[in-house]
Structure 1
C-alpha cells in the first residue's frame, strides 16, 4: 500500500473520530489559545485571514473581531455549522467552509495570515498540511500555529489513549507539531519564532475531567468505544491518575496547566 493511500485511510478514520463525542464542549478549552495566537502573530486590522481546521471557529472569530476579512475551514460539517452560528450571534462576517486542511481550496498566495490552533496537528499527512499552509500564504505573509506539546497534559493524555487503543498503523503523533525542531522542518526551515506557554484548566474533580472527556472529546470517546468494560475502566483510571498528577489545586477540585507551543513564521 502506498503512503498516500495509507494517509487517506487514516484521514477517513480521523474524521470519524472528530465527528464523535461533542467537540463543541471541549472547544471551550481552546478559547484562550486563539487570543494568544492572534496576538503572537501581531494580526493587523483589514488583513486577509485563513483559519485552518477552525473547529468551532475560535481563531476565525478572534480575527473577525479585529476587523479582518476571514475564512475558516474544517472537514467536520457539524463543527463548521457550530462556527457559523457563533459568528452569526455576534454579527461577524466570517466565510466558513467545509474543506480539507491537506487540500485547501484556495489559490497560491491568497492570505496575509494563515492560522491553525490545535488543528493541523491532527491531520494525517503532516508535511502535506504544512505545505498547504505555506502555499496559500502570500510572500511576506505570516503563518501562526498553536499545538499541544508532547510533554504537556494533552500530549500525555494522547499517549494514554494510544496505550489503550493504538492508532491506525502509519499514523503520525499529532504532538510532533508541539516540537520546535519538527515545526521548523515542516515549514521548510523558514524563520520561525517559537515559544511554549500554558492554559489553565479547571474541573470539579479529576474524576469529572475523565468522564467529561470520555463523553465529549473525540479521541478519548472513540478509544473508549473500542474497549470492553474492563478496558474502559482501566482507561478511565489512567485518565484520573494523569489528572491527579497534574493537579495543583489545594482543594478537591482540579486545576491543571496545559502546555502548548506557539510557532510564528514569515513566508519569504
Structure 2
C-alpha cells in the first residue's frame, strides 16, 4: 500500500464519526496552545489537521487570519458550518500537510493539535511546516506521549486497526523531544513541555459508548466487524478502560508534548 492509499484509509477513518462530540475532551490542550502562541489581528495562521476547528476558531476569534487544513472532508464541512454559525471568517479546505499549496513563508504561525502527527511521511510534514512558516514566525504543536494514556490506547487499538505500511512513521514518535527535535530543530529554535489533559468518565461502558459514537477509529471498526467480534472488542475495551478506575471514576492521565518554536 502506497502512502496515498494509506491516507485514503485515514480519510475514511476520520470521516466516520462526529468528532466534534468529543473535541471538548481536549479543550484544556487547545487553551494551552493559544496561551503559548497568542493570536492577534494581523497574524496569518495555518492550522494543520484542524479537525472540526477548535484551534482555528480560537485564533480567528482573537483576530488572526486563519486557514484550516484537514484530510477529512467531513471535518472540514463541520468546521466551516461552525465558523459560519460563530460569525468567523476562516478559510477551510481539505488538504495534505505533506504537500501544502502555499508559498514559502506564507504564515506567521503554524499550529497543529494532535493532527499532523498522523501523516505517514514525517520528514515531508516537518519540511512543509518549516517551508510555509515565515522567518521569525512561530510553530505550536501538540503530540501524544507514547507512554501516556493515549499511547496505551493506540497500543490497545493496534489489535483492531489495519497494519501500517513499510516506511510510514509511527505517530507516537512525535511525542518524544529527541525525535521532534531532529525533524524540526534545524529550522526552529524549539521549546518542549510535557502537559496532561486527563480524562474522567464514570464507567468503561460509558467510555465505549462515547467512542463508538464519536471517535472515528473505534466507530468505524465497531461497525465493520461481525456481532461476535464486536462484542469481543466491546468487552476488551471496557476491561482496558477500567484499569484506570480510581474510586467512583475512571481517571486516565493523557500526557502530551507541547512543542513551540521560532523560525530561524
Q: Give the TM-score normalised by the residue count of structure 2.
A: 0.91
Shift of 1:44: 4.1
Is 1:261 matched with 2:254? no
Instruction: Indicate which of 173, 181, 184 corresponds to 1:184.
Output: 181
**SS at 1:164 equivalent:** coil
1:105 alignment counterpart: 101
> More displaced, 218-227 or 153-162?
218-227
2:92 alignment counterpart: 96
Q: Determine if contact 1:161/1:223 at 8 Å carries over to the other structure.
A: no
Is 1:39 matched with 2:24? no
Note the 1:173-252 alignment, pairs <5 A. 173-189=170-186, 190-225=188-223, 227-248=225-246, 250-251=247-248
Is 1:23 matched with 2:19? yes
CA–CA distance in structure 2, aligned partners of residues 204 and 19 of structure 1? 27
> More displaced, 11-20 or 112-121?
11-20
Shift of 1:132: 1.0
Shift of 1:62: 0.9
CA–CA distance in structure 1, aligned partners of residues 238 and 2 of structure 2? 34
CA–CA distance in structure 1, aligned partners of residues 177 and 206 of structure 2? 33
Q: Determine if contact 2:39/2:63 at 8 Å carries over to the other structure.
A: no
Aligned Cα RMSD in Å? 1.9
Shift of 1:173: 2.1
Task: Mark the runs of 5 or more structure 2 residues left unpaired by the alignment.
Answer: none
Instruction: Indicate which of 142, 153, 158 corresponds to 1:157.
Output: 153
Deviations 1:67-125 (A, max 9, x none): 11111111211111111122222211211122211111211100000000011011121
> More displaced, 98-107 or 112-121?
98-107
CA–CA distance in structure 1, aligned partners of residues 41 and 150 of structure 2? 32
CA–CA distance in structure 2, aligned partners of residues 206 and 224 of structure 1? 16
Shift of 1:142: 0.8
Q: Determine if contact 2:120/2:170 at 8 Å carries over to the other structure.
A: no
CA–CA distance in structure 1, aligned partners of residues 228 and 170 of structure 2? 26
> More displaced, 93-102 or 220-229?
220-229
1:51 alignment counterpart: 47
Deviations 1:225-256 (A, max 9, x none): 454444333332332233222233x32x4333
- Count of aligned residue pairs for this structure pair: 262
1:76 alignment counterpart: 72
Shift of 1:54: 0.5
2:5 alignment counterpart: 9
CA–CA distance in structure 2, aligned partners of residues 12 and 160 of structure 1? 23
Q: Determine if contact 2:140/2:258 at 8 Å carries over to the other structure.
A: yes
Is 1:127 matched with 2:109? no
